[in-house]
Amino acid sequence: MVGAMKLTPFVSATAICLLLGAAPALAADAGAARSGQRAVVLVSGTAATTPFTTPTQACKTGYSAGNTWAFLRDYLVKKGYKVYTAPASLGGVKVTETKDPNDGPFGGCPKQLPASMTVNAIGSVDRSGSSLARFLGYLHGKYGVSRVDLVGHSLGGFIGRAAIREARLDKSPVKFTSYSTLGSPWDGTYIANPKNPADPLSACDGFPVCEAFAGSLLSVPGIEMLIALLKPSNTAVWNSNQAGALNGIPVSMLAGTYFTKAGGSPAVWPNDGIAQLSSAWAQGMSDKLIPHRACYSWPLTHSLFVSKGVGLPDDSSLTWNSDVGAQLAKIFNGASTALKKPNRIGCPAA
């Protein structure tokens, strides 16, 4: 039977002691996280349309930053963080205002950036990573941003890693203070791994939510490239090519576990409707690829789209939940000392 899990206890006694002992450093780092040179950048995932917004300029009608990031963007801005949303669209074209409830609606937004700095939400993650890297360069030149707390939702987790790798190879002046992912299938998604290749829905293990959303995803024009990438065997190859990109960057993986099945395979269960917990926590990736990680989970869904699709309230999704926002704030505030703490806090053993 599919149901909701209880909140996962993800902070150990050791971690609590470390946090209490580091209070002065955390306070100092909190101030740094709110400085003009340091910013939070939010990156959307598959098939999302997200307008460019700044800490002081958002969309005036509908969702302030599109339906992926509106809640967390506003939550963090109210907490004093300098938050930018990276523009994203289907095809990587310049974002335009929309009344489409699947993407927004949003209107009265800041002037949108050109296609060269707009993430393609259904295209090559490497090319989208290049677009994101150019966007980060724009933030540096226009707003003086030199340190970034990067946050990727879903496929945005892949795009963020691609951008980090490119920025480092290009010796970008923008440095990464922390990297966080929300519901990102680091190891690929069960939806792209059917037991019977001739029947895409065989990946769902009889899960009706998966069957519904898999059908929706597969019907998006141009999605085939992403579905191929998100097949776990292909994802492993892509991950290996990112070796070294995350060195020296504390990584936090935030997962949703709303959907469960007693005795279900960990290759599918629990999951947030799109990403299974084992993948959202990158259990198939070694410390060579992710040198320092921390893991968190809540009984939440993947996104507002999933929550609305199954009749749940907005705050049942990872991107619309204040507990997730509070955890992100803790991550940003503690970034300067994160690498001094034990690896894999809250995560399964290697």
Residue 24's pLDDT band, with cuts at 50, 70 and 90, is very low
CB 71 within 8 A of CB 319: yes
The predicted-structure confidence for 86-122, as pLDDT tens digits, reads as follows: 999 999 999 999 998 877 899 999 999 999 999 999 9
Q: Range with the lowest mean pLDDT among 1-10, 82-91, 205-214?
A: 1-10
Dihedral (CA of 159, 165, 170, 174) sign: positive
Domains and CATH numbers, the chain: 13-18+32-338 (3.40.50.1820)
Cα separation of 167 and 18, whole Å? 32
CA atoms within 13 A on the CB side of 127: 13
Percent above pLDDT 70 for the chain: 88
**Which pLDDT value is given to residue 306?**
93
* pLDDT at residue 311 tops 70: yes
Is the peptide bond preceding residue 105 cis, with omega within 30 degrees of 0? yes
Tell me the mean pLDDT in the region 124-135: 98
Distance from the Cα of residue 145 to its chain's centroid: 20
Q: Which pLDDT value is given to residue 16?
A: 27
Whether residue 10 has pLDDT greater than 80: no
Mean pLDDT over residues 164-179, rounded? Answer: 97
Alpha-carbon span 201 to 241, nearest angstrom: 29
pLDDT at 209: 85
In this model, does residue 275 exceed pLDDT 50?
A: yes
Each residue's pLDDT tens digit, 240-274: 999 999 999 999 999 999 999 999 889 999 999 99
Tens digits of residue pLDDT in 323-335: 999 999 999 999 9
> Residue 289: its pLDDT value, please?
98
Cβ atoms 133, 166 nearer than 8 A: yes
Average pLDDT, the chain: 89
Residues 6+ apart with CB under 8 A from 98: 49, 104, 105, 106, 107
Binned at pLDDT 50, 70 and 90, residue 130 comes out as very high
- pTM summary value: 0.89
